[in-house]
Amino acid sequence: MPFVLAAGPGATNFTLQAADCAAVSPVRAYVSRLYYVASCGICSPNDGVPTLKMRELQGSTIVERIISDGIEDLQFEFGRDVDQDGVVDDYLAAAAAADWANVVAIRIRLISRGVSSSPGYTDDKTYDRGSLFAAYTPSGSDAKFKRRAYTALVQLPNIAGPRETP
């Protein structure tokens, strides 16, 4: 799909036509967001609470937002179908650009943690972060927090589009 990116305001930069080839296509805002796990929710002073955050480009400014406190770890594994039978053959931590057309599933692994420690509690569990990442066993003061691990598999059912040759 073609696109036009303009650095300044004004519809004169946008010349793409709508499906009827008469009207100009509507202008849509460019959205750029980065999601990440930070070691602190409020970092000055450091509250020590792991947090899922988002940075979003708004105009020429990057704005940081807290999505959820207590998110300690977030991993993605990309399921690749190399023989094109529609079934995952292997998982990659971050597929190379040439492999994106073969990604048919995404496995998401998340570990959440309480925002405050639990007196008298010791977390002695080992958390599976997938075959591509080392397992996590809390130790020291980190073991005083209660945790939960979640796993989800998202299948990408329309794989024909990325595999089409223009």
Domain ranges of the chain: 72-166
Cβ–Cβ under 8 Å, residues 54 and 33:
yes
Average pLDDT for residues 29-55, to the nearest whole number? 93
User: Using omega within 30 degrees of 0 as the cis cutoff, is the peptide bond preceding 9 cis?
Assistant: no
Judge contact between 32 and 61, C-beta under 8 A: no
Percent of the chain clearing pLDDT 70 (strictly above) = 86
67-114 confidence digits (pLDDT tens): 999 999 999 999 999 888 888 999 988 767 678 888 899 999 999 999
pLDDT confidence bin for 18, thresholds 50/70/90:
confident
| 1: its two tokens | 């799909």
Q: How far is CA 66 from CA 13, 39, 54, 76, 117, in A?
A: 35, 12, 6, 20, 21
For residue 100, give the 3-state DSSP assignment: helix
* pTM of the predicted protein model: 0.78
Residues 27-34, mean pLDDT to the nearest whole number:
85
